[in-house]
Structure 1
Amino acid sequence: MGFIQKWADGFKPAETSGFGRDPSYGGEFDEQVDQKPEVLGDGEFANAITTVQTADGGVAYVPEKTPLKRRLDGRHIQFIALGGGIGTGLFIGSASSLSTAGPAFLIVDFIIMGLMLMCVIFALGELACVLPVSGAFSTYASRFVDPAWGFAAGWNYYLQWLIVAPLEFTAATIVIKFWDKNEVVPKGVWVTIFILVITTINLFGVRGYAEFEFVATFIKVITVIGLIFALIVIDCGGVVGGPGYIGAHVWHDPGAITNGFKGFCTVFTNAAFAFAGSELVGLAAAETKTPRKVLPKAARQIVFRIVIFYVLSLFLVSLIVPYDDPRLTSETGQSYDPNTSPFVIALQIGRIKGLPHIVNAVIIISTLSVANSAVYASSRTLLALAEQNFAPRIFRFVDREGRPLPATILSLLFCLLAFLIYSASEGTIFGWMLQISGLSTIFTWANVCISHIRFRMAWKHQGHTLRELPWASPLGIIGSVVGLVMNIIVIAANIYVGAAPIGEGEESPKDRAYDFFNANISLLVLIFSFICYKLIMRTRFVRLEDIDIHTGRRDPVSEEVLEQERAEARARPLWKKIVRSVF
């Protein structure tokens, strides 16, 4: 009975009133403090710090109690960064990119998006180390740019992840057709099972999310590494009874490029969707024990992930699977079918028996992993929106286990959209949701770059130096400027493809209007929400001297300590630096 009572009590409201040390806080501060601290900022933001006078007259930063539980360790954050986004975007969505653009544009576009993502993640890593606050993206935008922009950016990010969970369940039902072609088990049964699994995981709060991601990411990483070796063997003709040596033959016949510039532009949204989830390290910072120490390492690992898991694996696939392979598109013309995964097709070409089944099983695990991340991200974002008065107050509720229950329940209810598989083709639904989520991801990345630029400007304007930062982006403010410009170019390319899609001459005006709306609905929602909030609330652009760069800081350390840590890092041998950057 004691266990049941404790479990039931966990759903009661969190106790956050009063001042004192947060039990989950891992930092250090002077115990001799005034018990009436002065709160920095206007109190709107979660995880606010307080400034208190120490016995010697100095100032100490002390974190107030927060309803969110800081239970994420370094291994959780590193694995979230390493494989949090590896899922259907890579395994299934890449089929559409390969068939519509060709292998050359597929690789070039993923490299471009990877470089852009590096700029974003390094900027986000710096921001999250300094300010590991709840709802990072909307909070940064509200504080550093304009509350109206924070409102629009926050709801954009929330809707981005809200749509991902049903998208992943739809993808999972597609993959299951690989074994159940005649639908012996109804699609709705599988959707119900998936929703129950994700609901159960989220009952365990942030720790349940993190542990599931840790296991799922380990499986995904091992699978991708195994696929890379298998694809090399196939391409070199090392499979007994296989097709023999392939080399770069398919890059010459049928070719490396198709559909010209339009083909080039179509890959960006799919690539953004494939990379989505990398920014979750910033969102999870508020529930991390020591963000200052674990986030820089997680940010650096993004480079390894981009090169190995995306660019290299897709390059090897493109050496084996020609872009005109009919299996890349289904009979209905959709590029989202159980047999359209280019990885599965490559293994089938190589005549390696058994592996296609294993890969499809891992794809299903990946869909559950990304759906789990979607529920986590959307619930925490809605909580942050409510804390900033951008959403109804009911979504501020957090129970004693650190679970934002109303926000989580709403996210789980939206998973029921996956039952739309009964109203239309799964491929059509998957493609539609992918477009919405992919473009929303690009907006989120642009917002991170804008926020970082404004933060750096305010940091300098208010008399601080870069050496005071716990960790500074290796690319600096220039990296964020480059990342922002690249984001704008990608958005422009998406608008162009939406207005003049491939095969536009064969479409009716109604179909073209549908394609444009489908490709740019996220942009329309972002602009509409920004303008409406701006006009109604009459917000103003935040001036540099008014930007709050303190509220939300956790365990600030002296510049001397930071310099000592940097000196120790510089003194490490080269091999250890490489190992620490990768693992």
Structure 2
Amino acid sequence: MSYSKEAKSDFDTSVSPVQVTDAPGQETSKGWFGNLKDSFKPAQMEELDPNLSDVEKANIMAAKSPLQRSLKPRHIQMIALGGSIGTGLFVGSGSALSTGGPAALLIAWGLVGIMIYCTVQAMGELTVTYPVSGSFVQYNTRFISAPWGFCMAYNYAMQWLVVLPLELVAASITIKFWNDKVNSAAWVAIFYVVIVIINFFGVRGYGEAELIFALVKVLAVIGFIILGVILNCGGGPKGGYIGGQYFYNPGAFADGFKGVCAVFVTAAFSFAGTELCGLAAAETANPRKSLPSAIKQVFWRITLFYIISLTMVGLLVPYDDPRLLSSSSVDAAASPFVIAIRNGGIKVLPSIMNVVIMIAVLSVGNSSVYACSRTIASLAQQSFAPKIFGYIDRSGRPLVAVILCLVFGLLCFLAASPKEGDVFNWLLALSGLSSVFTWGSICFCHIRFRRALAIRGRGPDELVFTAQAGVIGSWFGFILNVLILIAQFWIALFPIGGKPNASDFFMAYLTVPVLIAFYTFYMIWKKDFTIFHRAADIDVDTGRRDFDLDLVKQEVAEEKAFLAAKPFYYRVYKFWC
């Protein structure tokens, strides 16, 4: 199946920088202030045929979005490697260790890590093929159904919308590690201004900031692993070989099978944001080149930053350490990383690790504005939100969506209120299981995509990047996400150490009734009761960057032949990197 150059141009998704002109063909220099002012003007977007369906309009709008492709391979790789490592790993793992024990920690993070690997591989195949605005948020509408796309897009936007105020307050709380005299609102204001400045520099500002943040986190985790080995072998100031004694006393499991189930949700929370490199596909200069490498690096992120570092945590901190039971989920003093260093008798490093935790918190807050604003803009493009939220300026910023996120972020000043704990707990409950639904949907989109290709007699030979785990990996990811939801329902209904009660149940499972409400609202609003599209009706061509399929097949075959001719060690390297 081939297409002419004329046909290919109809689907061309490349976006050239918008030039400010007074008349067609005549560029105007207005100085830096004039150019800055003009950059906030709306980007030019073509009109669509009003006779197209909502799904067809959404596919074309996503492909033609004027978001700027400013992210370089180094940005994408660092976003994939360490972009969303935050309190889930550095602090949340402490409560998980206390709840489940060190063995539960490794089982839960290991299984969720395998699921994330399969999910990100599936997402990589889709995003390299369709590097469109909204990425996997838009894929739900394309490959499953419009009602599910509406539901999942709002689910993802809501998840990141509440993260900004939460992370800003978390950053202010980390300061209390050194000084608890200054009002938290003062620190919140400083961090808020930093996030605002970064996001008004556009996608390039986000990319450069995340490059620095991720580099700090990566170096910190690697340093902790090396230090952990030294401390475990008795090389610290206090000396004394530790080995695996904490797996025997107090034990490997804190609360048996139920404890393992409880840890699954914390593990899933700590992996939230792993999919951000896919969301950035539409703003990547060359997604075909940079995304496959970034997607493969997620394996190392899971193995190195989660599994190995948490193995060291389990070896160095007993699960019955009372410092793990902090009343705050962002208390740096409750971080098992900080506790492990303190137990080793090292006085300076706990403060350094706390700085890393604060940077991680700010990094996730910064990512939340990026993820939420792009998702809201995608909602507007799909006619799921007011058109104004799809406003993209000449610098490629979804300006109105960014402003909405930043205005909602002002809730962070509730840190000065005595009721801030209750407010933020319920905000967190709104999006507690959002990532689980997002990952399950990505896997199902991949399954539907492959089915749509197969029914047309087409296959993965026309794809420049294919998921290493294949469709089997997507089925595994989908099923495991369903099992996590079932486990969380059990824990929400019968909490560990407590009796069934409505407050605990909705605190843990509020996401589900909210999503049911979104799904029902859309079906009534649009009178669209589609459960999922028939495979034969799925559009598998709009938005493809590489549209000459015969040329793509030839290039893929040549790349495979080139790789097959290389030595074994090189093939292994390319498979994992």
Match of 1:224 in 2: 221
Match of 2:295 in 1: 299
Match of 1:322 in 2: 318
Match of 1:543 in 2: 534
Match of 2:38 in 1: 9
Contact map agreement 1:421 1:429 (CA 8 A) in 2:
no
**Which amino acid is the alignment partner of residue 198 of structure 1?**
I
Please identify, of 205-214 and 412-421, the stretch whose mean Cα deviation from structure 2 is larger. 412-421
Match of 1:494 in 2: 488
The separation in 2 between residues aligned to 1:113 and 1:104, in whole angstroms, is: 14
Match of 1:23 in 2: none
TM-score, reference length from structure 2 = 0.90
Q: Compared with structure 1, are the counterparts of its residues 397 and 69 closer, same or farther at alpha carbon in structure 2 (3 Å cutoff)?
A: same
Deviation by residue 1:263-312 (Cα, 9 ceiling, x = unmatched): 11111221111111110111110111211222121111111110100010
Aligned match for 2:503, one of 487, 490, 514: 514
Match of 2:58 in 1: 44
Match of 1:460 in 2: 454
Deviation by residue 1:449-482 (Cα, 9 ceiling, x = unmatched): 1111111111111221210112111111111111
**Aligned-residue identity in percent:** 48
**Which amino acid is the alignment partner of residue 341 of structure 2?**
L
The alpha carbon displacement at 1:121 in A equals 0.5
- Matches of residues 338-353 of structure 1 in structure 2 within 5 Å? 338-353=332-347
**Which amino acid is the alignment partner of residue 517 of structure 2?**
F
Contact map agreement 2:493 2:505 (CA 8 A) in 1:
yes
The alpha carbon displacement at 1:382 in A equals 0.2
Aligned match for 1:404, one of 394, 398, 406: 398
The separation in 1 between residues aligned to 2:569 and 2:421, in whole angstroms, is: 46
Deviation by residue 1:402-458 (Cα, 9 ceiling, x = unmatched): 001110001111112222323347766666555544410001001101111111111
Please identify, of 100-109 and 551-560, the stretch whose mean Cα deviation from structure 2 is larger. 551-560
Match of 2:207 in 1: 210
The alpha carbon displacement at 1:556 in A equals 3.2
Structure 1 unaligned runs (5+)?
A: 20-37, 50-63
Structure 2 unaligned runs (5+)?
A: 1-29
Please identify, of 524-533 and 387-396, the stretch whose mean Cα deviation from structure 2 is larger. 524-533
TM-score, reference length from structure 1 = 0.89
Contact map agreement 1:494 1:520 (CA 8 A) in 2:
yes
**SS of residue matched to 1:44:** helix
Deviation by residue 1:39-70 (Cα, 9 ceiling, x = unmatched): 99833335666xxxxxxxxxxxxxx5x31001
- Matches of residues 134-533 of structure 1 in structure 2 within 5 Å? 134-181=133-180, 183=181, 185-240=182-237, 242-330=238-326, 333-424=327-418, 433-505=427-499, 512-533=501-522
Q: Does 1:122 align with 2:136?
A: no
The separation in 2 between residues aligned to 1:424 and 1:167, in whole angstroms, is: 15
The alpha carbon displacement at 1:380 in A equals 0.1
Please identify, of 566-575 and 552-561, the stretch whose mean Cα deviation from structure 2 is larger. 566-575
The separation in 1 between residues aligned to 2:82 and 2:263, in whole angstroms, is: 21
Please identify, of 292-301 and 143-152, the stretch whose mean Cα deviation from structure 2 is larger. 292-301
Contact map agreement 2:62 2:134 (CA 8 A) in 1:
no
The alpha carbon displacement at 1:349 in A equals 0.3
**Which amino acid is the alignment partner of residue 207 of structure 1?**
R
Contact map agreement 1:336 1:427 (CA 8 A) in 2:
no
The separation in 1 between residues aligned to 2:559 and 2:511, in whole angstroms, is: 43
Q: Compared with structure 1, are the counterparts of its residues 436 and 267 closer, same or farther at alpha carbon in structure 2 (3 Å cutoff)?
A: farther
The alpha carbon displacement at 1:243 in A equals 4.5
The alpha carbon displacement at 1:147 in A equals 0.3
The separation in 2 between residues aligned to 1:215 and 1:462, in whole angstroms, is: 45
Please identify, of 82-91 and 527-536, the stretch whose mean Cα deviation from structure 2 is larger. 527-536
Number of residue-to-residue matches in the alignment: 540
The separation in 1 between residues aligned to 2:483 and 2:325, in whole angstroms, is: 28
The alpha carbon displacement at 1:579 in A equals 4.4
**SS of residue matched to 2:433:** helix
The separation in 1 between residues aligned to 2:424 and 2:287, in whole angstroms, is: 35
Contact map agreement 1:262 1:501 (CA 8 A) in 2:
no
**SS of residue matched to 2:218:** helix
Q: Compared with structure 1, are the counterparts of its residues 294 and 112 closer, same or farther at alpha carbon in structure 2 (3 Å cutoff)?
A: same
